[in-house]
Amino acid sequence: MRFVFLLFVSFNVLSQSEYYPGKDWVEQSPNSQGLDNKLISDAILFAEENENSVSKDLRISILNSFGREPGYRIKGPTKFRGEPNGLIIKNGYIIGKWGDVERVDMTFSVTKSYLSTVTAIAYDDGIINLDDKLKKYVWDGKFDDPHNSRITWHHLLNQSSEWSGSLFGTYDWADRPPKGLSIEEIKKQKLSEPGKAYKYNDVRVNLLSFSLLNVFREALPKILKARVMDEIGASSTWRWYGYDNSMVIMDGVNVQSVSGGGHFGGGIFINSLDHARFGLLFLRNGEWNGKKIISKDWISKMKIPSENNPSYGYMWWLNRGDRKWQDLSENIYYGSGFGGNYVVVVPDYDMVIVARWIDSSKIGDFVRKVIQAHK
């Protein structure tokens, strides 16, 4: 009897363990994981039929969207995009996929969620304090004046820094300026105090990347690869780029300061399978196969709504405020990028959803269709 009991306990423990993909990712039917097969097929068809309208030639798309900015030019690599593709992950298993999920494409501002994760490593290692002022860490003049000297890591992470200056040839005021104003009018706009206003601004995001480079003193893609992507079994195909003029000398070595998006080109180029692994890491509260990669403390902090924008945390979007997807849980959070790039984490249903090149106005409807497939 004792032998039988031990077998039962062992089986029970195994049956309760969470699945993590190895080199190969196990696929299961939606039905086996408690979802309706047809409804998942219908949701996938919806994603395929609602392709984003951005041109396949992303240089054209970028210029059409951002070319009006003063002094604008594409400074980093770009790539022709592929067809819509994506994955639906339930309980760690692939239960739905469409398109070429191994194709490496630009992911634009989803890069910000990866940059946030590099900040998490610095935080977890105890080499930064989120309430510290940046002038303590970066002393080349970028945080010296009375206004900029009050900026903290917290401000940079939730895009409330209001930093003023020029970085790699672009002024803060030249990034997404209000339409209809002259350059002189744009330059004269009054800045709020750091922490008092939200502004989605890639120059200031790139300043976070530059500041982290000053802390780690080695290229951020190397940090991300060693500490996160290799640990979760990501492929060797992803890349993280900066600009043709964002090389800096760090400890006597030329290192590229990478960008937090593809607004000016660059950013992370990655396939959907690697995105899904990244999303699963966060769904599992920063652990992978029993190893802590990112602390639960950080994940809790990054999901706190910003003081000036309840829809935004630490470079992850939250399903709250003006951007809330109606009838869906506020526990949902996601990385979002130009052209319809999404990594969506749905904790209440143990799901990760990756969608590439979907119509951005349809992403909430798509996520809703996936969730409604639960029996």
DSSP letters of 154-205?
A: HHHHTT-----SEETTEEGGGSSPPTT--HHHHHTPPPPPTTS-----HHHH
In angstroms, how far is the first alpha carbon of the chain from the final one? 38
- Residue-wise pLDDT tens digits, 173-182: 999 999 989 9
Q: Which CATH number fits domain 22-371: 3.90.1150.10, 3.40.50.2000, 3.40.640.10, 3.40.710.10?
A: 3.40.710.10
Quick check: 12 pLDDT over 80?
no
| Residue 16: per-residue pLDDT | 54
| Confidence label for 96 from pLDDT (cuts 50, 70 and 90) | very high
32 or 9, which is more confident? 32
Whether 190 has a pLDDT exceeding 70, the answer reads yes
User: Which two three-digit tokens encode residue 232?
Assistant: 């979760």
Q: Is 328 helix (H, G, I), strand (E, B) or coil?
A: coil
Nearest-angstrom CA–CA distance, 324 and 346: 14
List the one residue out of 157, 110, 113 whose CA is nearest residue 263: 110
Task: Please say if the pLDDT value at position 15 is more than 60.
Answer: no
Hey, is 301 helix, strand or coil? helix
pLDDT tens digit sequence for 238-279:
999 999 999 999 999 999 999 999 999 999 999 999 999 999
What is the pLDDT at residue 17?
A: 86
Torsion of CA 81, 84, 85, 91, to 10 degrees: 130
With CA atoms as reference, report the closest residue to 21 among 165, 299, 232.
232
Q: Does 205 score more than 50 pLDDT?
A: yes
* Separation CA 251–CA 144 (nearest Å): 22
Q: Is the pLDDT of residue 7 over 60?
A: no
pLDDT at 2: 39
Mean pLDDT of 35-61: 98
Domain boundaries, given as residue ranges, for the chain: 22-371
